[in-house]
Structure 1
Amino acid sequence: MFPGNASGAQSTFRGMWLSVRKAGGHSEPMVVDGMEQRSKLVSIIIPALHRPDLTARCLQSLAQQTISTDDYHVIVVENDARPDSILKDPLPPNVRRILLEKNYGTTASINFGVAESSSKYVLLLNNDAELQPQFLATLVSVMEAEPNFAFTTGKLLRASDTTRMDGAGDALLLGGGAYRLGHTDLDTGQFQKRRWVLSGCGAATLFRRSVLDETQGLDEDFFAYLDDIELAVYVHQLGYKGCYVPEAVAYHVGSATLGNPIHPKVVELVTRNQLFLICRHYPGAVVAILLPRILLFQALWFGFAVRHHHFPAYVRGVLSAIKSMGRSLRKRTQVMQQRRIDNRGFLKLLRASEKQLFEWHISRPRGSRSHLLNAYFWIFGAPSDGNVS
């Protein structure tokens, strides 16, 4: 994820794949190099903003995968591509590169890459992630066995301390706040069972290409942050499921571009994208039911931003969401027309995800628990039962 010059990137409607952009006069300034690839089982899309050192290590881990190199190819999408900030030639035989003249963000970068690919599955992979050799083969085997899975995701360990979790899938509160399950916890085997998750972390998650075609890619309005949650909520509304597979292990640096997970740009984008997510995916009747939770979480998030001296960033995020309200409502109409679950089914998904988040939260030592989640669950209590088989 890389929140650079969001204001400099022209926003494009979701689903305007590269071929459509070219044909419709919306061609983006870009260069594609590397050999043209035949259709593969897996396309691996790596968005990058500078840090070719990280990208090179990521590619080294891919070269060690147990899956045959004939079964996958890699597309690296280099944003703000300058000679001193991109991978050095020559590229490995199964690697292609898209060079973009400015930073188009995580979402557009992935869409560019997917548009240039042809495969049954697509692995979304951050350039600051490295995979254990069995990672890709493990996720593919689960997807092959379960045609209703839209995605599979693995266990992420912290690259700086591999005894600690980076995440075991992402969860969403009924009130609209997203969290990474297990984040920073000591890995004691507490996440060693396969299970349903609402979302995988975009750092390393395998998607079924046909499902990405249905959603028409990622929502480019998100630019970066919560785009993975948004995509996962969307595919669940289409009737698909996702699975956490702990046998697939990767190592994730995290915040490699900015170096600070509470950077003001992060606060701005998360604030805006939380509101985008609710406006575009929560049905009106569900918003009415959950309004107290939504308002409380936003108040708590506001307090978090102020405590970290990011009030201006919070305001910019809210104003940006308000400015895009008309666009959000149009996209919401599209989602509501496509969805294959009713309001009760949507609430069941959110309750199941919040229950996972609550169980993780109370399992942590008191001193390690989020103050924001402490307040949220103190007011609303333990979530009601919710299970997604």
Structure 2
Amino acid sequence: MRNLTVIIPTYNQKDLLERAINSLISKCNDEINIYVLVNNTESNYIVRNKNYANLHVEYLNTNCGFCKAVNYGLRLIKKSRFIFLLNDDTEVINQIDIDNIIHELIEKGNIFSISLKMLKGNYPNLLDDAGDMYTILGWQFKRGNGLPKELYDRPCEIISACGGAAIYNKKILDEIGYFDEDFFAYLEDVDLGLRALMRGYKNLYYPYISVLHVGSATTGGKYNDITIRLTARNSIYVIYKNLPLPLLIINFPFILLGYLIKFIFFAKKGKGKIYISGVLEGLKNLPKFKEKRRENMRKKKISNIKLEWILIKATFEYFHQYIKRAFYTLRGAKK
């Protein structure tokens, strides 16, 4: 199907990658082009599927990161109207009707992206991600993370599609720009979602297609040093690039509180210095984002009041979700 092309960036995850590709091929109702972007792998393995002719593999010279690998693929794709971005540590578990997705969601409105239902690989009855949100504390969070999957069965607007399993409108991508390569990896999808939101586009959660997600398979876990440093650093970039000055001023106390809470959290895990090093690196690098910030503010169509209200609602949703997760954990412990 020329309307949609799949991009899968990968780094030394041969077994997981093959599972992702095979699940994708078996669950699609039509032929699709699949581009695998292999970030510098010493084994230099060759991805093959003898029964699938539309599988293309591109080898990159170095481990250039998630953002640059995906952007490389996006520049190769000229004709497809929509991009299906999929992590190499995912597995599609139900049938995909691409025509229905495109017709019912993307072609009916001012929609930039849709985020699919991501389930925890080891606990498929629990959600991993039902779309990404962003709070006045400067925190990104995954909707529904750790909660029963049945609680998030309705489509809704979100702030950003999770790049692990998302479909993007290629025309709008070409307009607003691709993933910011200075992020390397982590929070680049939130930055992209906010960029689209600020220019008047919508991001949606689409619960009718589910994928299993291992999570942080490439970097080695949720709280490893690489993930903590990059996430802390990139969180600074997201704030600086996307919050208008009035919102930066109004939300500064909340943002400061958010970073203090995060520091205490990581310090208890013996990772406080790593977290601080990421924050300081982000602050040090801000001058090179000045022009990107100017462009975002120049092309912003959403009002500051509306944007602030979206962030406030997301903040309340975060705490509501936190309480729900504590309730379900407590109820599970009593059984």
Q: Same fold (TM over 0.5)?
A: yes
Per the alignment, residue 124 of structure 1 pairs with 85
Indicate how the Cα distance of structure 1 residues 256 and 242 shifts in structure 2: closer, same or farther if over 3 A, else same.
Answer: same
Distance 1:289 1:368 in 2: 35
Per the alignment, residue 80 of structure 1 pairs with 40
Cα-Cα RMSD: 1.9
Per the alignment, residue 314 of structure 1 pairs with 275
1:245 aligns with 2:206: yes
1:274 aligns with 2:223: no
Distance 1:202 1:86 in 2: 24
Distance 2:43 2:250 in 1: 53
Per the alignment, residue 333 of structure 2 pairs with none
Give 1:214 shift.
1.5
Distance 2:213 2:196 in 1: 25
Give 1:231 shift.
0.7
Give the alignment's TM-score, normalised by structure 1. 0.80
Distance 1:284 1:145 in 2: 34
Distance 1:311 1:358 in 2: 23
Per the alignment, residue 115 of structure 2 pairs with 153
Distance 2:203 2:214 in 1: 24
Per the alignment, residue 258 of structure 1 pairs with 219
- What secondary structure is seen at the aligned counterpart in 2 of 1:365? helix
Q: Comparing 231-240 with 358-367, which one deviates more in the overlay?
A: 358-367
Give the alignment's TM-score, normalised by structure 2. 0.92
Cα contact 1:77–1:98 (8 A) shared by 2: yes
Cα contact 1:135–1:249 (8 A) shared by 2: no
Cα contact 2:139–2:235 (8 A) shared by 1: yes
Give 1:91 shift.
8.4
Deviations 1:51-89 (A, max 9, x none): 1111111111111234310xx211100001334545257
Per the alignment, residue 26 of structure 1 pairs with none
Cα contact 1:78–1:86 (8 A) shared by 2: no
- Choose which of 42, 50, 56 in structure 1 pairs with 2:12: 50
Give 1:172 shift.
1.1
Cα contact 1:75–1:97 (8 A) shared by 2: yes
Give 1:351 shift.
2.0
- What secondary structure is seen at the aligned counterpart in 2 of 1:53? helix
Give 1:307 shift.
1.4
1:134 aligns with 2:95: yes
Per the alignment, residue 109 of structure 1 pairs with 69
Deviations 1:296-315 (A, max 9, x none): 00111111221121233223
Structure 2 alignment gaps of length 5 or more: 331-335
Indicate how the Cα distance of structure 1 residues 349 and 136 shifts in structure 2: closer, same or farther if over 3 A, else same.
Answer: farther
- Choose which of 222, 225, 233 in structure 1 pairs with 2:194: 233
Distance 1:82 1:88 in 2: 18
Per the alignment, residue 289 of structure 2 pairs with 328
| Percent identical | 27
Structure 1 alignment gaps of length 5 or more: 1-38, 370-389
Distance 1:122 1:128 in 2: 18
Instruction: State the one-letter code of the partner of 1:281.
Output: N
Deviations 1:253-303 (A, max 9, x none): 111113320001111011101110001100111111111100000111111
Cα contact 1:151–1:206 (8 A) shared by 2: yes
